[in-house]
Structure 1
């Protein structure tokens, strides 16, 4: 308590604290005001008007940001639960990791009509159903990348820290908050930033929804942009893009930049680098009297109480009489996961599998063979996109991650580039391909890269920032530079993060193949041979047999690549390339 008081006396209430209090109340009021508009009466057939007046842009931007952060919260919750079970229960992980890879590869937006019907049935006569469907679509653009990052962090914990946790007899909860969560912090922050940027890509598609032949435009910047494009209002389009740019910059500077500075405290090192990431917002909040008071009198006591309750539960579990039951948390979790997965698969796959069998009677062997060949073409493009993207993202990501000053300058630019919907640029590339007679079989690789290379870049930056300063100083002492430094320090250090970047970029590339293998602009339509174009054509024609075959072939190829490439690289990262 004495230290507590001493720390508190170092801070004095100032005018800055008044501003912070005002900002907190303003944010709370805005959240309440915006959330009240999410639960208004609504039935199918009602029309929500989108006003293209620039005065409505702040309100629409606020509604979109609220959806983004709600989706991010559920993505984080999903990350901790799914990633933890996949890493801790080997039997479950052998199924859950390939399933996760399939989930991030399947074009979920193609099934948005089905999800919105389900959510509208869950919330009848309310706009909340449509809002939940929109949030779910954004969630699908955020969750997978973060989950892979958390899973990789749990699987590559240094052995000495593992042994320290065992010697200290950490129970699962103590181990999670004292070891596993801090180890994964830097990777989670950067992958969370990338995932949030991916959410911007899904924003327009998730707010302007078409269901049962009716268009529903939720109030938001995505719907504003969609209506502006439909009406050909160039001025409104520019307003929307400008507001989206401002939103990205504000979120980056007010949310992500302080998190990056805070996350540096979880870096594994004995000596601190001379240059550290810096944030004006973080410095103001850290020195604020009111923030320290809120933390010490409200947040910390709540956290301590919650922590003690969970620790008490584990203590009672360990002290339970073994004559009645043999307590083995891992055993019960593993058994429970097996039962849950089995029941879930039976429930979810019984009806679709039965329907698929009947559909397959209408599909000939030639159609299956053609779809598989198309899948191989797309698989080749995916690997080419990953290779070409890695050529520039690895050196640039390492440069940014090892240089805090450069990181401060480049982070907003990288965030904007990663968040900007790449498909909005596709028509311009279509014109260039037609003008210069570029073979679209190869040109589609460039379009695929535009939406996937950022996953590699953000993971490389996270890996470079995680390199202990002790090892960097050691390379300077031994005068290692150039390729020797890359071979002995940089590449081994970033390898686990690089594998995560490749896996998430691969899933994004398979997903992007739906829109990158078939593009059109006015009278020009370019098509590349691949499973993405196959599914797009089947979807346009309403050919459910073709859609089923295309997605099935894509899932099979994703599982095979996961098993024979990514699984082996993950094993290499766990056993050879991580800090011990």
Structure 2
């Protein structure tokens, strides 16, 4: 191609990219304008279900989803880094993360709506912040677990090399730690984004106590259509959601997953790599390069600001006596604070309902625990082989990724009315049927983490296995299972937590005037939230957190330790 033709092609590429950026900025401003107006509580009690409103509703939902994703990324970096770098904080932050993961979105909403409305009285911004916070709680935990696992699994040699080169902590994070976890982080972010879609209805059509709040969005539209029993409007919501998911995958996730391939740790270049039309367009354009030049002073300022952390001169081995004394002091302060809070909570419950309020949720939790176990086991048997197949084949990944992304991102509760119709027609008991509904919201964590783990296995090792003629079960035992095991553990932890959370909306399904209810802890929390029964809501959330923490300690944390010790590439 001649220089003139190349310049002409680059000019057209720049014009397309610049126009896309301007349109994106306009859409954000247009959609965000409605988030700061004042409101009358009567005006936000119901959603407008006119199909003509769906494009605007879709823009508002996307704005909330990406705002929550940005917050989740920031939270992941800070929280996971603190837990991975400090043993004292790790002993508090990781169990706290188990608890936060187990707290249902409805539990967060109960507190968030009241708090944000008080913070922004009379403004829709308070409801928007509550909705974004609810979506954030469905995204952040999975990403944080993934990045924490990456940081704790980094080889000791990398730590020593970075110290020998005099890296500051910021340089080590930016040049060593973040690239090492980029593939896992992107795939888990994609899965977390899909988890946000699942709870879109709950976060946009908020019902706490006897008050109902509804924000413009596809989730609130679908919630209102389901309440009306209007299958036509539900169909419009499903079609809009499908367009949104496919569009976000094509314009955002596909370019991102193709770009992070550069961080794969291998000595020879893979014969096949993921491709993205959008990423190729951005690479040909000069606009990103120009933006990079204009932002260089800002990047330099960030680098200079990060130097306040200085070099990481901490010894690799600390003085045992000094460390033990610090641990004891830290534990004493923590136990005092937790003990005071627990005493006050128990006093509150004793005055309102008595401590016997914990008995019913403890028994109901056994039924939900059995369903969670079934979901995780079946998801493992079904999706691990599929995930390995996708992760090992870039060509298959190009085909399967959009399909999987649509399936994972599509809010399963949009399909709950259809599931209810099937249950009623076939006579399936809701106690069994809700297992399938829980799986729709939790199984994808196993698949996405398996894909990320398989993609992170260096091509060198796979080619070596091919040269040695290792096939079948031997290949799985020697390469695949050890290679994906750390990522699978992360997926198992988050799938388990996701199944507990999904039980809230899966054990109680409503369509029109018909409601099907299963026996379980999820239904208990749902009814406590709907009726505004705070003592029973606290008891339900506390028992659910107890089940999740005990399960993580007895099963998943032990597997995580095995992954760190034996199966880190």
* TM-score (normalised: structure 2): 0.90
**Offset of residue 572 of structure 1:** 0.6
What residue number does 1:554 align with? Answer: 544
In structure 2, the gaps of 5 or more residues are: 1-5, 315-322
* Residues 176 and 460 (structure 1), Cα distance of their counterparts in 2 relative to 1, 3 Å cut: same
Deviates more, 1:155-164 or 1:563-572: 155-164
For the aligned residues, what is the CA RMSD?
3.1
What residue number does 1:425 align with? Answer: 415
Correspondent of 1:304 among 283, 297, 300: 300
What residue number does 2:173 align with? Answer: 176
In structure 1, the gaps of 5 or more residues are: 1-8, 320-329
* Residues 128 and 368 (structure 1), Cα distance of their counterparts in 2 relative to 1, 3 Å cut: closer
**Offset of residue 49 of structure 1:** 7.0
* Residues 499 and 418 (structure 1), Cα distance of their counterparts in 2 relative to 1, 3 Å cut: same
* Residues 247 and 148 (structure 1), Cα distance of their counterparts in 2 relative to 1, 3 Å cut: same
* Residues 287 and 100 (structure 1), Cα distance of their counterparts in 2 relative to 1, 3 Å cut: same
* Residues 310 and 525 (structure 1), Cα distance of their counterparts in 2 relative to 1, 3 Å cut: closer
Structure 1, residues 319-348: CA drift from partner, whole Å, max 9, x if none?
Answer: 9xxxxxxxxxx99x9999979967975786
* C-alpha distance in structure 1 between counterparts of 2:26 and 2:72, whole Å: 25
8 Å Cα contact 1:92-1:337 kept in structure 2: no
What residue number does 1:475 align with? Answer: 465
* C-alpha distance in structure 1 between counterparts of 2:438 and 2:399, whole Å: 27
Note the 1:325-336 alignment, pairs <5 A: none
Structure 1, residues 40-63: CA drift from partner, whole Å, max 9, x if none?
Answer: 122444447754443332222111
What residue number does 2:505 align with? Answer: 515
Secondary structure of the 2:470 match is coil
2:492 is the alignment partner of 1:490: no
Deviates more, 1:17-26 or 1:401-410: 17-26
* C-alpha distance in structure 1 between counterparts of 2:433 and 2:29, whole Å: 47
2:343 is the alignment partner of 1:355: no
Correspondent of 1:79 among 69, 76, 79: 76
What residue number does 2:183 align with? Answer: 186
**Offset of residue 525 of structure 1:** 5.8
Note the 1:9-88 alignment, pairs <5 A: 13-47=10-44, 50-88=47-85
* Residues 313 and 527 (structure 1), Cα distance of their counterparts in 2 relative to 1, 3 Å cut: closer
Note the 1:282-297 alignment, pairs <5 A: 282-295=279-292, 297=293
8 Å Cα contact 2:168-2:310 kept in structure 1: yes
Deviates more, 1:422-431 or 1:523-532: 523-532
Correspondent of 2:445 among 451, 455, 458: 455
8 Å Cα contact 1:11-1:288 kept in structure 2: no
* C-alpha distance in structure 2 between counterparts of 1:568 and 1:427, whole Å: 39
* Residues 399 and 544 (structure 1), Cα distance of their counterparts in 2 relative to 1, 3 Å cut: same
2:231 is the alignment partner of 1:241: no
* Residues 282 and 519 (structure 1), Cα distance of their counterparts in 2 relative to 1, 3 Å cut: same
**Offset of residue 38 of structure 1:** 1.1
Note the 1:315-464 alignment, pairs <5 A: 351-359=344-352, 362-364=354-356, 368-464=358-454
What residue number does 2:205 align with? Answer: 208
Matched length: 557
Secondary structure of the 2:34 match is helix
Correspondent of 2:131 among 134, 156, 163: 134
* TM-score (normalised: structure 1): 0.88
* C-alpha distance in structure 1 between counterparts of 2:350 and 2:231, whole Å: 49
